Amino acid sequence: MGAVTNGIKGAFRVGQTLSVLGRTGLNWVRGDRPPTPKLLRQTFENLGATYIKLGQFIASSPTFFPKEYVEEFQYCLDRTPSLPFGVIKRIIREELGRPIDQVYSEIDPVALASASIAQVHAAKLVTGEDVVIKVQKPGVENILLTDLNFLYLSARILETLAPKLSWTSLSGIVEEIQQTMMEECDFIKEANNLKVFREFLLNTHNDDATVPRVYEQCSTRRVLTMERFYGVPLTDLDSIRGFSKDPERTLITAMNTWFASLTQCEFFHADVHAGNLMVLKDGRVGFIDFGIVGRIRPDTWQAVSDFISAIMVGNFDGMADAMIRIGVTRRTVQVNELSSDLQRLYRQMDRMVPDDVPYEMGQAEDDVNNILMDMVKVGESHGLHFPREFALLLKQFLYFDRYVHILAPEMDVFMDERLTMLH
């Protein structure tokens, strides 16, 4: 019976998807024709959960997708209307299998945040602790599976019609997205990620960073109850000054913690945007939201580390060698030719951005983004294809680069001895 119900829901969902696509097509015929990347982003937002996540995947994958799409999908909003509190209460009660008032003394009916997969409410346990409850929205998993099967089928058809696309392997990308999304739907996995990261902090004697404690007695696959953190985002310099005497030192703590996790934890936090890195009232750095994590093999990390070191000293042969070790290729890559192309790219950049031009926040961030994408493009022109973990790493480097410009504009990341992992 369940299979039949899911089949009907699945068919309904495919119908909804085709209806949104049809509406978009109709608007286009009527003359509403934004640039293609923007049109695609707006369509994805209208299609909901899976496509919003797919949009965010595109935004974090400069090694897979054209630059204009990567840039446009940075604006892909994962904010959706809150579900009525009655629905949320019912899910919590069903998941925990006991009356709510036996677990929580109060729950704020107004959501702190609402995204495509879950929404978050502040609450207090009957034992007195302040917590947040992350509640998965009903039907999300079924929608994800239906959408992803639909996308996978479309990708396979497209690959058959256009074999040149097969090395990019659209269906492979969809499979990877399916794996990461289904992980995000399993809060037991997220709770485990929090515990593993807490263990890593303990093992490295790091008292300056922390993660929320998980309350396992009131957490399930679809409900996650965590300690509530009080603090401000890492980008809010004025507020940080209220909690930390030395914002620069706080930033270095965040960066050292994250870099250490690359080699000393079984995963790294793969979404360190400002909302997920907080400065707490006691000055510690709080890492939150472990729904998206990345795993990198030690040999790949060694190559990435060599790549960074080579960039620091302007060693183009070293950069080329590291890029070849990071990438996947079907042909022999000539190190000296790749090295020459990287050197040419750098000369071009020097002409583009003279040293005496005053720094502008948005512009500089675009420059870093463009440089990394251009380097990836140069690698690809030599037949290299980079794994998504490399793109995820680059994305986090870009976030940290942004934080350095906000909190410590005078700091030279490559020369500062306090950044242990880069020296």
Catalogue the active-site residues.
Answer: 271
The angle formed by the CA atoms of residues 400, 119 and 58, to the nearest 5 degrees, is 45
- What's the burial of 405, exposed, middle or buried (CB within 10 Å: 0-12/13-18/19+)? middle
What single-letter amino acid sits at 261? S
CB contact at 8 A, 135 and 2: no
What number of CA atoms fall less than 13 Å from residue 189's CA on the CB side?
A: 13
The residues that bridge with 224 in the sheet, in sequence order, are: 134
The H or E element that residue 203 is part of is helix 187-203
DSSP letter assigned to residue 114: E
DSSP letter assigned to residue 235: T
The H or E element that residue 106 is part of is strand 104-107
Q: Is the dihedral of CA 40, 46, 51, 52 positive or negative?
A: positive
Query: SS3 of 177, please?
Result: helix
CB contact at 8 A, 201 and 269: no
CB contact at 8 A, 204 and 253: no
Q: Compute the residue count for the chain.
A: 423
Among 194, 406, 242, 387, smallest CA distance to 300 is for 387
Residue 192 tokens, joined: 């485990």
